[in-house]
Amino acid sequence: MAGGGFSKLPNGSVVVALTLPSPDRAGGKVRVLVHAANRARALTRLRNLGLRAVYLRGNSAPPTPDEITAVLHHPDGLIWRTAPDEADELWHPIRALLRPARPA
Protein backbone atom coordinates (compact mmCIF):
# COMPACT_ATOMS: atom_id res chain seq x y z
CA MET A 1 0.00 0.00 0.00
CA ALA A 2 1.34 3.39 -0.95
CA GLY A 3 0.09 5.40 1.98
CA GLY A 4 -2.68 6.08 4.36
CA GLY A 5 -3.62 7.70 7.58
CA PHE A 6 -6.43 9.01 9.69
CA SER A 7 -7.62 12.08 11.53
CA LYS A 8 -9.75 11.98 14.64
CA LEU A 9 -12.50 14.59 14.64
CA PRO A 10 -13.70 16.54 17.70
CA ASN A 11 -16.92 14.47 17.86
CA GLY A 12 -14.89 11.24 18.20
CA SER A 13 -15.40 9.94 14.66
CA VAL A 14 -12.51 9.51 12.23
CA VAL A 15 -11.70 10.16 8.60
CA VAL A 16 -9.45 7.51 7.07
CA ALA A 17 -7.53 8.19 3.85
CA LEU A 18 -5.91 5.41 1.84
CA THR A 19 -4.02 5.39 -1.45
CA LEU A 20 -4.87 2.15 -3.23
CA PRO A 21 -4.21 0.57 -6.64
CA SER A 22 -7.03 1.48 -9.00
CA PRO A 23 -9.24 -1.49 -9.86
CA ASP A 24 -9.91 -0.19 -13.38
CA ARG A 25 -6.63 1.48 -14.39
CA ALA A 26 -3.46 -0.47 -14.97
CA GLY A 27 -0.78 0.94 -12.70
CA GLY A 28 -2.92 3.84 -11.52
CA LYS A 29 -3.75 4.73 -7.94
CA VAL A 30 -6.77 6.25 -6.22
CA ARG A 31 -7.13 8.15 -2.96
CA VAL A 32 -10.10 6.83 -0.98
CA LEU A 33 -11.64 8.71 1.98
CA VAL A 34 -13.95 7.11 4.53
CA HIS A 35 -15.82 8.75 7.40
CA ALA A 36 -16.77 6.35 10.20
CA ALA A 37 -17.14 6.02 13.95
CA ASN A 38 -13.62 4.56 14.29
CA ARG A 39 -10.74 3.20 12.19
CA ALA A 40 -11.92 -0.39 12.34
CA ARG A 41 -15.37 0.51 11.05
CA ALA A 42 -13.88 2.59 8.25
CA LEU A 43 -11.83 -0.37 7.05
CA THR A 44 -14.83 -2.68 7.44
CA ARG A 45 -16.87 -0.38 5.18
CA LEU A 46 -14.24 -0.78 2.46
CA ARG A 47 -13.93 -4.54 2.93
CA ASN A 48 -17.71 -4.91 2.66
CA LEU A 49 -17.49 -3.25 -0.76
CA GLY A 50 -15.06 -5.90 -1.98
CA LEU A 51 -11.74 -4.24 -1.18
CA ARG A 52 -10.59 -7.17 0.95
CA ALA A 53 -6.87 -6.50 1.30
CA VAL A 54 -7.18 -3.04 2.87
CA TYR A 55 -5.06 -2.30 5.93
CA LEU A 56 -4.01 0.87 7.70
CA ARG A 57 -0.50 0.71 9.10
CA GLY A 58 0.74 3.91 10.61
CA ASN A 59 -0.29 7.44 9.81
CA SER A 60 2.10 8.38 7.02
CA ALA A 61 -0.46 10.13 4.79
CA PRO A 62 -3.36 11.45 6.90
CA PRO A 63 -6.24 13.26 5.19
CA THR A 64 -5.76 16.95 4.53
CA PRO A 65 -8.27 19.51 5.84
CA ASP A 66 -9.71 19.81 2.30
CA GLU A 67 -10.15 16.03 2.09
CA ILE A 68 -11.86 15.95 5.48
CA THR A 69 -14.26 18.68 4.39
CA ALA A 70 -15.04 16.82 1.14
CA VAL A 71 -15.87 13.51 2.82
CA LEU A 72 -17.92 15.14 5.59
CA HIS A 73 -20.08 16.91 3.01
CA HIS A 74 -20.76 13.76 0.99
CA PRO A 75 -23.94 11.90 2.01
CA ASP A 76 -22.27 8.45 1.86
CA GLY A 77 -19.08 9.52 3.65
CA LEU A 78 -17.08 7.42 1.18
CA ILE A 79 -15.40 9.09 -1.81
CA TRP A 80 -12.38 8.75 -4.14
CA ARG A 81 -10.34 10.44 -6.86
CA THR A 82 -7.17 9.58 -8.75
CA ALA A 83 -3.82 9.96 -7.03
CA PRO A 84 -1.71 11.99 -7.13
CA ASP A 85 -4.38 14.62 -6.71
CA GLU A 86 -5.17 16.72 -9.73
CA ALA A 87 -6.56 20.14 -8.88
CA ASP A 88 -9.31 20.01 -11.51
CA GLU A 89 -10.68 16.56 -10.64
CA LEU A 90 -13.72 16.40 -8.39
CA TRP A 91 -14.37 13.73 -5.77
CA HIS A 92 -16.47 10.77 -6.90
CA PRO A 93 -18.82 8.48 -4.95
CA ILE A 94 -17.31 5.05 -4.31
CA ARG A 95 -19.91 3.28 -6.47
CA ALA A 96 -18.40 5.05 -9.53
CA LEU A 97 -15.08 3.31 -8.84
CA LEU A 98 -16.45 -0.15 -8.11
CA ARG A 99 -19.06 -0.52 -10.85
CA PRO A 100 -18.11 -2.99 -13.57
CA ALA A 101 -16.73 -1.48 -16.77
CA ARG A 102 -19.15 -1.43 -19.69
CA PRO A 103 -17.98 -3.20 -22.84
CA ALA A 104 -17.18 -0.81 -25.71
Domain containing residue 86: 3-98
pLDDT for the residue numbered 97? 79
Task: Please tell me the predicted confidence (pLDDT) of residue 1.
Answer: 46
Which residue type, as a one-letter code, is found at position 99?
A: R
Number of structural domains (the chain) is 1
Task: Residue 97: name the closest of 2, 29, 40 by CA.
Answer: 29
- 30, 97 Cβ separation under 8 angstroms: yes
Q: Alpha-carbon distance 88 to 93, whole Å?
A: 16
Blockwise average pLDDT, block size 10, the chain, 104 residues = 85 94 76 94 90 84 94 93 79 80 55
Determine if the pTM surpasses 0.75: yes
Torsion of CA 77, 69, 6, 99, to 10 degrees: 40
| Residue 84: predicted pLDDT | 77
pLDDT score at 100: 60
Sheet holding 29-36, edge to edge: 3-8, 14-21, 29-36, 78-83, 92-93
CA angle 74-3-76, nearest 5°?
15
Q: What is the pLDDT of residue 26?
A: 64
Q: Is residue 50 in some structural domain?
A: yes
In sequence order, what are the beta bridge partners of 31? 19, 81
